Amino acid sequence: MISIIITIHILLWLLVFLSLPFGTALLQHMIGFNFLISEGEYWRLVTPIFVHSGFGHMLFNSFSLVLFGPALESMLGKVKFTIAYLLTGILANLATFYIEPLDFAHVGSSGAIFGLFGVYLYMVVFRKDLITQMNSQLIITILVIGLVMTFINSNVNIVAHIFGFLAGAIIAPLVLPKTSSQPQIIMAGDSSYRPRMRFPKQFTIKHILWLIIIILVLLGILL
């Protein structure tokens, strides 16, 4: 499912980048514009999850999903993962609609991605049987960086980030396995006997480089 989502990201960006007439028109109908939502265009609570404001924005969100989505998808299964991803993104956009003014417009999947981090944080705090200590520290580190940059970068939809994260933490107990004996996420580098969430063993130099790229994007270097 993650590959399908990222393909949609890329295709929608290409439609705009290539300046195709129908691409520009399509984008205009997908932006989360609060005024038009208030006029009944409720699909705009969903469509912003898949469109982005530029290449750097699309790159950051897509690689965030590549790095942190597969492990969660393998634990939840495709259906529950898709529901969690879309639901947290929609709730983030709904909060944006109610809190931001009517002239506010936004795009991007960061609300849904922060929703995934909300699920992860729930595991770190309440379901330690599902995640190793090493990966708990990794998640906390990335989450702190993301939250800090949320308030530093002026082009960020702060409401979507915060409420996407809260939505993920709230729905986590509804989608996570009831016991650790069910199929587990495989993330990185821990050899503990009891199966728990671990990143792939190849989570080394390559993934560290991607993390650096993500941090640079967050700092505004690529945006």
Q: Which of 9, 52, 106, 161 is catalytic?
A: 161
Q: Which secondary structure element, helix H or strand E, spans residue 33, and what is its range? A: strand 32-33
Q: What is the DSSP string of 93-119?
A: HHHHHHHS-TT-EE--SHHHHHHHHHH
User: Would you call 192 a catalytic residue per the annotation?
Assistant: no
Torsion of CA 181, 183, 185, 189, to 10 degrees: 60
Q: In terms of Cα–Cα distance, which of 114, 79, 109, 106 is closest to 5? A: 109
Q: Which of 53, 110, 136, 154 is catalytic?
A: 110
User: Would you call 180 a catalytic residue per the annotation?
Assistant: no
Is the CB of residue 49 less than 8 Å from the CB of residue 112?
yes
Q: In terms of Cα–Cα distance, which of 120, 199, 127 is closest to 165? A: 120
Catalytic residues: 110, 161
